[in-house]
Chain A
Amino acid sequence: MTLAIDRNDPAISGHAESYRRAMSAKRRQTLIGAVIFLVCVWLAAIGSEVDPGKFIENAWRFPKYILETMPTLHFATLGADMAEWFWGIKGWLKLLWQTILIAYTGTILGALGGFLLCFVAAANLGKSRVLRFATRRFLEFSRTVPEIVFALIFVIAFGLGPLPGMLAIAIHTMGAMGKLFSEVVENIDMKPVDGMTATGAGWWQIIRFAVVPQVLSNFASYSLLRFEINVRGASIMGFVGAGGIGQDLIEAIRKFYFTDISAILLMIIATVMLIDYGTERLRHALLSLEHGR
C-alpha cells in the first residue's frame, strides 16, 4: 500500500512552504550561533597562547613525566621498594592529618557562620530588607573570591602555618553554605512558623522551634558534602604556605623528587576517596533518618 499525496494540493504545498521557512530560520539561527562560538574559540585560543607546534614538540614530556614519577618496584624486593617509595610516610601522614583537621575546623567554623547568616539572608525570615541585601552581598563576596586568595592574604596577616588555611576555608565555606542554607530555609513549610508566631514567640524562638527542626538534616548533609570538598581544598593550601600536605607536594614538584610526587598524590587521592565514601554513607543514613520520621 502506498500513501499518495497530491503535491499540487494548495493546502499541502502551503504546509510544506511554512515548514521550509521555519527550518531555514532555525538553520540560520544555528549557523549564527556556530559562527559566534567559533569566533569565541578563536579569541580564546589567542588569549591562552595555544601553540600546537609547541604542544606536539613537547607532548612526549607528559607521559615521560608521569612515568618518571612511578617508582621501580621489583617483585622480589617489594617490601623494601615500597618502603623506599614511601620513605617519608611518617611525616606525610602527620601532614595529611593536619590537612584533614584544617578542612574539619574550617568546615565547622564556616558552617556555623553560614548557619547564623542564612536566617538573615532568607527572604521569608529576614526582618530587614537592608540587612538581607547586605548579608547576601557579603556571602557572595566570600564565595566568589577563591579560597587560596584569602589564604595568600591571611598568610601575611596571621603568619605561616595552618591557621590562615583554616580561616580561608572557613570564609569560603561560609559564603557557599550561607547561600545553600538560605535556599533551604526559603523552601520550608511556613505553618509551624505561623503557629509559633500565634503563641507569641520571639524571632529566636521561632527559628529554634519552627525552622531548625525542619532544616537540620539538610544542613548536616550539605556540611558533610562541603567537608569533602574542603579536604581537596586544604590539600593545596600548603602551596602558599597555609599548612597541610601541599607544602611537601609543591616542594617535591619544584625540586623534581619524582617518586615523592606520586607517593604524596596517591595518599591524597586515597584520603579524598575514603572521605568521599564515608560522607556519602553518612548522608544516606541522614536522608533515610529523615524519611523514617
Chain B
Amino acid sequence: MTLALPADDRTALIARHKAAIDGSLKTRIVTIAIVAGLLGLFLYGLTTLEVSLWKILHGLGNLGTFVALMLPPDPGSFGRALLFVKALFETIAIAFLGTILAAIFAFPLGFIAAKNVVANRAVHFLARRSLDTVRGVDALIWALIWVNVVGLGPFAGMLAIMTSDLGAFGKLYSEAIESADRKPVEGVTSLGGSKLHEIRFGLIPQVLPVIASQVLYYIESNTRSSTIIGIVGAGGIGLYLAETIRTLEWQQVSFLILLILAAVTAIDFLSSKLRFAIIGQRAV
C-alpha cells in the first residue's frame, strides 16, 4: 500500500509551512559562515604547514612498508625482552610514585589556594596562578629540566611527573576544600569533638573517597605520559621506543607498543575496579 498525497494538497501544504520547512534565513547564513570560516582556516593551515597530496601519498606508502615490517612483533632476543619488561616496570613505577608524591605534597598547596582558608585575595590569586603555570608546562618539559638537575634516569622522570601533577592536584584540593560540606564538621563539634576530631571524622570521610579516586585516575593517565618521558632520557620504556624507531627496528617497535597497550589496559582495569571499591555505588 502506498500513501499518495494529491499534488495540489502537497503544494498547498508546502506553501502553508514554508517557514518550518526552509528554516530561518539568518540561521542558515550564520551556519554557512561558520562552516566556511572553519574550512578556510583549515585550508590556510594546510598550505602554511606545507601539506601536499604527493607528500601524504609518499608518506603513506612508507608507512605501509613500516607496518608490514612490524609484523610479527618480536623483541629480537630473550635478553632484549627482559630489558623491555624491566623498562615497563620502571615506567609504571615512575607513574605510581610520581602521582603519590604529588598527591601528598600538593596538600599544603591546596590549603593555600583555597578561598575559605586563606582569605587574602592577593595570596589566593598568586597561588592559583602559580598552580596554573606549573600545570601549563608539559611533563616532557619538566623532565628535560629535571634531567639537568639530577641527571639522566628514571628519578628525573619521577620528579617530572610529580611536578606537573602538583599543579593539577593543588587546584583539585583547593576546590574540594572550598566545596566541602560544613555540616558534618559542625556535628562533630556539637558532640564535643576537638579540632583534630573535626578533621578526622568531619572532613576526611568527605574528601578522601574523592581524592582517592582522582589519584587513581591520575595514575592511569600518568602511565601514558611516563611511557614517553624516556624520549628525553628520563627513564622508562620511552628510551627504547625512541631508540628502536630511530634505528628502524620495526619488529621491536611493535613489540614495545604491544607491551605499552597491555600495561595501560591492565592499569585501567585495575584502577576502575579499585575506584569502584572505594566510592562504592555512589557515582562521582
Contacts and interface: CB of A to CB of B under 8 A. Distances in A.
B165 interface: no
Contacts of A253: 141, 144-145, 148
A48 B157 contact: yes
A122 interface: no
A239 B41 CA distance: 25
Interface string A138-178: 00010011101100111011110111101000000000000
Contact of A108 (B38, B149, B155, B224): B38
A162 B49 contact: yes
Given A48-B154, A272-B136, A163 B141 contact: no
A47 B136 CA distance: 28
A238 B148 CA distance: 19
B231 A45 contact: no
B93 interface: yes
Interface string A212-241: 000000000000000000001001100110
B64 to A, nearest CB: 9
Given A152-B242, A156-B245, A145 B260 contact: yes
Interface residues of B, number: 64
B94 interface: yes
Contact of B257 (A54, A149, A243, A273): A149
Interface stretch (A81-89, A98-106, A185-193): A98-106
A interface majority secondary structure = helix
Interface stretch (A1-9, A20-28, A58-66, A70-78): A58-66
Contact of A41 (B44, B63, B97): B97
A12 interface: no
Nearest to A165: B49
A236 B228 CA distance: 12
B100 interface: yes
Interface string B153-185: 111011000000000000000000000000000
B137 A265 contact: yes
Contacts, number: 168
Nearest to B264: A144
B241 A273 contact: no
Contacts of A61: 148-150
Contacts of B232: 239, 250
B138 A149 contact: no
A249 B51 CA distance: 23
B26 interface: no
A98 B51 CA distance: 13
Nearest to A63: B149
Contacts of B146: 62
B138 A236 contact: yes
A173 to B, nearest CB: 14
Given A49-B154, A108-B38, A153-B245, A163 B97 contact: no
A108 B228 contact: no
Interface string B123-159: 0000000001100111011001110111101110110
Interface in B210-257: 224-225, 227-228, 231-232, 235, 241-242, 245-246, 248, 253, 257
22 contacts: A41-B97, A44-B94, A45-B93, A45-B97, A49-B235, A104-B41, A104-B42, A105-B45, A144-B261, A145-B260, A148-B228, A153-B245, A156-B245, A157-B59, A158-B55, A158-B59, A161-B49, A162-B50, A239-B232, A250-B144, A265-B141, A272-B136
Given A58-B150, A144-B224, 10 more contacts: A61-B148, A61-B150, A105-B46, A144-B264, A148-B140, A149-B228, A163-B51, A232-B136, A265-B141, A269-B136
